[in-house]
Amino acid sequence: MPRIIFMNDRLVPEDQAKVSVFDHGLLYGDGVFEGLRSYSGKVFRLEAHIDRLYASARAICLEIPLAKEVVSKAVNDTLAANGLSDGYVRLVITRGAGSLGLDPNKTSHPQVIVIADTISLYPREFYEKGLRIVTASTQRTQSAALSPRIKSLNYLNNIMAKLEGLRAGCVEALMLNHKGEVAECTGDNVFVVRDGRLLTPPPDAGILEGITRNAVMELATAAGIDCREVTLVRHDLYTADECFLTGTAAEVIPVVDIDGRTIGSGMPGPVTRRLTDAFHELVRR
């Protein structure tokens, strides 16, 4: 069955979901996006995702032509049109078609696109036994060049780091900032556990403040786990008791080996398992 896509103001079959070859989203990665998850027919933290989308657009002077409530409805309508109760949604806003040049003032009609599909998670084995990751030589884009809080369509920086991980036989790769501090992985935020405390890089390390990341921090605090945003370097990860990643697609997934160093016992730790269970309970609610 062909998928149904929301394009601007209506639902259309996927073969009718088209953008111009002159769209600056295609030509220059000029646009913003969000990835969302639906559980049992309800989109997880939809309002937070929509707010972040509009904040990203505002930061690059891109005016989304639809109101927030209309975009939110489009997300739910697209899921329903595809018969998806548990699924993944990609919400994309492009700058629109223009001339062959960088000037965004020469573009028009920003495109609002909603794609809903089934979610492809990591294999269950990775959740049970943990991931092995490596540190990429590709650095996280400096905040002075482009704010990491903007979830832009230009993900080449992350893709290059992802390639490094894949070529090393890993499905994820750790990215450092220009100071050599831990930022995040190519698509996920990073947490470590040390002496019962949960630690994660702060926003000024060059991270995207993930929706799942924030949810896990809230769950940790509610469970009485001391959770802090602190500057981390690779040594802190190598010597941690536990490490895990969070993301919309990944949810909560343990890491047991970084750059050939075994983390903790080499198996998912108790804090990781506890927060994984708490997150699954949260989304079920």
Kindly indicate the confidence band of residue 56, based on its pLDDT and cuts at 50, 70 and 90.
very high
Amino acid 16: pLDDT: 96
What residue spans of the chain are helical by DSSP H?
24-28, 46-59, 68-81, 124-129, 156-167, 211-222, 234-238, 270-284
The CB-side HSE value for 233 (13 A sphere, CA atoms) comes to: 4
Mean pLDDT for 10-33 is 97
* Domain spans of the chain, in order of start: 4-117, 124-284
At 174-210, the pLDDT tens digits run: 999 999 999 999 999 999 999 999 999 999 999 999 9
What DSSP letter does each residue of 118-146 carry, written as one string?
A: ---PPPHHHHHH-EEEEE-SSPPPPTTTS
173: nearest Cα among 129, 236, 131, 209: 131
Query: What architecture is the 124-284 domain classified under in CATH?
Result: Alpha-Beta Barrel (3.20)
At 128-147, the pLDDT tens digits run: 999 999 999 999 999 889 99
3.30.470.10, 2.60.40.10, 3.90.1170.30, 3.40.50.300: CATH of 4-117: 3.30.470.10
pLDDT over 90 percentage in the chain = 96
Residue count of the chain: 285
Task: Write the CB contacts of 260 (distance below 8 Å, at least 6 apart in sequence).
Answer: none
Supply the residues annotated as catalytic.
151
Kindly indicate the confidence band of residue 285, based on its pLDDT and cuts at 50, 70 and 90.
confident
